[in-house]
């Protein structure tokens, strides 16, 4: 794996869009599914600003991670929100509510990295690429973080995370369940 660059953005958007077509949580605040690429362009920009964006060397998987210690409300963040206009004015209240709930649920007593998105191209899923990628990510972050947190609304993801040492610690409901997992590093 390697840190992504701005040149990787089209491929990152493609990987995430293909991976999250049916994800309830990703689609929760969108105007329509057609907005998924825009959502992921926005998310990648946030990752570059407040964390890290990684891509697998064979370009089949990627991840966007946010460091809550780096996340701040600043002019660049506001500009990203306005530039991408992913959510529409009607859905902005839902988004803010969801983000506040997620922030409340994340651990307060741990220095963690938030695995915001992890995507694997559908044609190579179930071949171990996501497992190796996630292992590489956790190995990298364990040198300076205490934990990695992730949430999922996709039930088939639960065994994937649990087999890799993540443990459930909370569930919230947004019209569908979102399960919160963490792994001590």
Q: For the residues 91-103, what does the mean pLDDT come to?
A: 74
> 């001590």: which residue's tokens?
184
- Looking at residue 89, its pLDDT comes to 52
CA dist 142 and 16 (Å) reads 25
Q: What is the DSSP string of 50-109?
A: HEEEEE-TTSSEEEEEE-TTT----HHHHHHHHHH--SHHHHHHHHHHHHHHHHHHS-SS
Interatomic CA distance for residues 70 and 81, integer angstroms: 17
pLDDT score, position 78 = 56
Tokens of 37: 């690429």
Q: What is the mean pLDDT of the chain?
A: 88
Number of H helices, E strands in the chain: 7, 7
Q: Is the pLDDT of residue 79 over 70?
A: no
Tell me the range of 41-45, 88-92, 108-112 where mean pLDDT is highest: 108-112
pLDDT score of 64 more than 80: yes
The tokens describing 110, both together, are 């741990």
pLDDT tens digits for 45-62?
989 999 999 999 999 999
CB-CB contact of 61 with 129 (8 Å): yes
* Contact criterion met (CB below 8 Å) for 64 and 51: yes
The pLDDT tens digits for 11-43 are 999 999 999 988 888 777 676 677 789 889 888
């Amino acid at each position: 794996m390697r840190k992504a660059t701005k040149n990787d953005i089209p491929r990152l958007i493609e990987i995430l869009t293909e991976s999250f077509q049916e994800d309830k949580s990703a689609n929760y605040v969108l105007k329509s599914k057609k907005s998924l690429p825009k959502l992921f362009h926005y998310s990648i920009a946030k990752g570059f600003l407040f964390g890290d964006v990684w891509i697998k060397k064979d370009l089949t998987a990627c991840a966007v991670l946010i460091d809550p210690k780096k996340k701040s409300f600043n002019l660049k963040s506001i500009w990203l929100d306005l530039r991408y206009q992913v959510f529409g004015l009607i859905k902005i209240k839902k988004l803010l509510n969801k983000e506040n709930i997620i922030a409340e649920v994340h651990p307060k007593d741990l220095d963690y990295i938030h695995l915001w998105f992890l995507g694997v191209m559908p044609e190579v899923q179930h071949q171990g690429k996501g497992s190796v990628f996630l292992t590489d990510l956790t190995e990298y972050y364990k040198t300076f973080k205490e934990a990695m947190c992730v949430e999922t609304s996709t039930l088939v993801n639960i065994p994937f995370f649990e087999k890799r040492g993540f443990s459930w610690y909370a569930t919230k409901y947004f019209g569908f369940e979102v399960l919160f997992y963490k792994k001590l590093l």
